[in-house]
Amino acid sequence: MASRLTRRTALVTGAVTAASAAATGIAAADTESGPRADPVAVTIDMAVLFDRRQWDELRAVFTETVWVDYTGLVGGEPGAVLAADLVDGWRRGLGHLSATQHLLGNQRVRIRGAEALVTAEFQATHRVGPLAGGVLYTLGGRYDYRLALVGRGWRISAVTMTPVWESGDRTVIGLPVSPQ
């Protein structure tokens, strides 16, 4: 039964990727860490690779320079940053967490030539400490991604995170106890 479910899941996942690739007119990528034919898959890769702390692979989902706007959560000004610096900043600033889990849903895609716009609702949980009894901070909101067609695949060229709600201890991710 389990192998049948695994095959079914693989078939459905493959069909979604193949349909997306056919719609964009590009071939599906051969490797997990290579350029991706499906813009939604690239945004999912960003979340999964972050959660798994696969920093080198995470860098590969971005263009060389990325426009980043997390001002709704951390203040400051949005701006362009080298992808390597963005990922290194996440590694240094959030690498201490015991676990993270970024869940994306309700993705909507609009493709205009060599640009794709993807919107996704998200819930991101961050934990320090033991599996049971650790301290949690959970944030929910929306990601707006802009992706550029680079070679045969998509890469994230801009990401805006808009927080909608939060729960738990903000200090887990280095934020002040009270929102500014």
pLDDT band at 179 (very low <50, low <70, confident <90, very high): low
Residue ranges per structural domain of the chain: 31-173
Q: Which residues of 136-163 are buried (b: 16+ CB within 10 A; e: fewer)?
A: ebbbebebebbbbbeeebbbbbbbbbeb
Q: Bigger pLDDT: 35 or 11?
A: 35
Q: Which helix (H) or strand (E) holds 50?
A: helix 39-51
Instruction: Tell me the average pLDDT of the chain.
Output: 85
Give percent of the chain with pLDDT exceeding 90.
74
Specify the pLDDT at position 154: 97
**Is 163 within 8 Å of 175 (Cβ atoms)?**
no
pLDDT digits (tens, 9 = 90+) for 112-152: 999 999 999 999 999 999 999 999 999 999 999 999 999 88
Specify the pLDDT at position 152: 83
Specify the pLDDT at position 69: 98
Considering the domain 31-173, what is its CATH architecture? Roll (3.10)
Specify the pLDDT at position 32: 47
Q: Nearest-5° angle of CA 147, CA 58, CA 35?
A: 50
Specify the pLDDT at position 83: 98
Q: What are the CA-CA distances from residue 135 to residues 2, 126, 147 (Å)?
A: 35, 8, 34
CB atoms closer than 10 angstroms to residue 11: 10
Q: What is the rounded distance in angstroms from the CA atom of residue 34 to the CA atom of residue 65? A: 18
Specify the pLDDT at position 178: 74
Q: Which helix (H) or strand (E) holds 11?
A: helix 2-24
pLDDT digits (tens, 9 = 90+) for 69-114: 999 999 999 999 999 999 999 999 998 999 999 999 999 999 999 9
Short-list 142, 131, 20, 156, CA closest to 81: 156
**Is 37 within 8 Å of 29 (Cβ atoms)?**
yes
Q: One-letter amino acid identity for 9?
A: T
Determine which of 2-11, 49-58, 61-70 has the lowest per-residue pLDDT on average: 2-11
